[in-house]
Amino acid sequence: MTRTPAPATADVVVLGGGIIGLATAYELARAGVGRVVLCESDALGSGSTSKAAGGVRAMFSDETNILLGARSLETFADFPSRFGQEIDLHRVGYLFLLDDPEDVADFERSIALQNSLGVPSRMVSPAQAGALTPYFSTEGVLAGAYSPTDGHCTPESVVLGYAGAARRAGVQVLTGCAVTSAEVVDGAVRAVLTQAGRIETDTVVLATGAWTGVVGELFGVELPVQPLRRQILVTEPVPGLPTHSPMTIDFSTTFYAHREGLGLLLGMSDPEESFGFKLDRDDAWLGALAEVVQLRAPGLREVGLASGWAGLYEVTPDHNGLVGTVPGVEGLWVCAGFSGHGFLMGPALGECMAALITGRRPPLDVSALDLRRFAEATVPEKNIV
């Protein structure tokens, strides 16, 4: 295969072809930046984006995350008209099942904050939760937290939409183009060296997801992002599956499911999982999953599994993303580390990154996600699985 050669120079080089990298490149070009080059080591979206469960929501405990999720939901809702690409958006809602009094209190506080920011979430009774998601059992559930405007869509379709729009806006997209090293002179970015050639530039964006720590080392910096495997399964058709049921999460076990065709897409965090670039499926977690299914969705016990895959979370110490300049290297920016919710925040993050890089005021204040926050005590995002 003949690889497209890299251009000799660029105004901005974006590393990473998932939703955050694509959205950032697109918004930069739309803002008038002349030469934007995006480098992806494999196919577009082949990292964590296309392996995501596809959930889109604003139900977070942190104000910045709530606003990023809510603004991105506006883009997802209007995606076909903006980008000419259907993304199979189902705004069926998000439902968290809560069986711990402390979690109930935390979600009550989160929902009060969400409501103050315009998110129509609310607490529901166990009976109301059971009516919303009849294939889940609410035995032992104390309350539910529900938002009717959240939902899920197809990540691969979002990638196609952004990729097409970025190219039409003038972005040069290079796939199969891994970055091999970087030139940093007197504490400033001067160039990146890729499999397709050297690109001279003074501005680089790391939108490299779970690989951000590794790529950061090429620039001589340590970034607190670690890869953690998460596995997803898709069932065979489920008889009597409701057509309109929310993305449901059993919060204490992290077991979740949403409708996928005639079956369900489901997953659960494995407490025994360790950090590392593990992309293969492993059946070792299925025993723990089966125990939770027995408790929370006993009607699914006899449903067969049709497919599955593994992907990587990009985990930071406080489960919040890294957005902004990288201290110590002029011209190096990062937008990564969202601990499982980067896909759903991608559209808003692209807007914010483009504004920051071009010296404009971003649509949302993302200063709380600056890397310098780790010099002080941080407040972790609580509403993640």
What's the 3-state SS for 11-63? CEEEECCCHHHHHHHHHHHHCCCCCEEEECCCCCCCCCHHHCCCEECCCCCCH
Q: Which of 315, 348, 367 is the last residue of a domain?
A: 315
Per-residue pLDDT at 152 exceeds 50:
yes
Domain that holds residue 143: 94-148+226-315
- Look at residue 73 and tell me if it is in a domain: no
pLDDT per residue as tens digits for the range 88-104: 999 999 999 999 999 99
Tell me what percent of the residues of the chain surpass a pLDDT of 70.
Answer: 99
- Look at residue 103 and tell me if it is in a domain: yes
Looking at the fold, whether 289 and 341 belong to one and the same domain comes out as no
C-alpha distance across the termini of the chain, in Å: 41
- Look at residue 67 and tell me if it is in a domain: no
Looking at the fold, whether 236 and 311 belong to one and the same domain comes out as yes
Looking at the fold, whether 337 and 208 belong to one and the same domain comes out as yes
Confidence of residue 3 (pLDDT cuts 50, 70, 90): confident
Alpha helices in 78-125 (DSSP H): 79-83, 101-116
Confidence of residue 2 (pLDDT cuts 50, 70, 90): very low
- Look at residue 56 and tell me if it is in a domain: no
pLDDT per residue as tens digits for the range 168-194: 999 999 999 999 999 999 999 999 999
Q: How many CB atoms lie within 10 A of CB 214?
A: 13
pLDDT per residue as tens digits for the range 204-253: 999 999 999 999 999 999 999 999 999 999 999 998 888 889 999 999 99
Q: Give the pLDDT of residue 1.
A: 41
Looking at the fold, whether 131 and 242 belong to one and the same domain comes out as yes
* pLDDT (mean) for 297-315: 93
- Specify the CATH number for the domain of residue 208: 3.50.50.60
| Domains held by the chain: number | 2
Question: Cα(25)–Cα(203) distance, rounded to whole angstroms?
Answer: 12
Instruction: Name the residue among 121, 120, 138 with its Cα closest to residue 129.
Output: 138
* pLDDT (mean) for 121-150: 97
Looking at the fold, whether 261 and 332 belong to one and the same domain comes out as no
DSSP 242-263: -SS--EEEETTTTEEEEEETTE
Question: Cα(206)–Cα(249) distance, rounded to whole angstroms?
Answer: 31
Q: pTM, whole model, 2 decimals?
A: 0.97
Looking at the fold, whether 135 and 22 belong to one and the same domain comes out as no
Looking at the fold, whether 310 and 240 belong to one and the same domain comes out as yes
Looking at the fold, whether 219 and 232 belong to one and the same domain comes out as no
What does pLDDT average to over the chain? 96
Q: Give the pLDDT of residue 243.
A: 85
Looking at the fold, whether 308 and 323 belong to one and the same domain comes out as no
- Look at residue 3 and tell me if it is in a domain: no
Question: Cα(79)–Cα(60) distance, rounded to whole angstroms?
Answer: 23
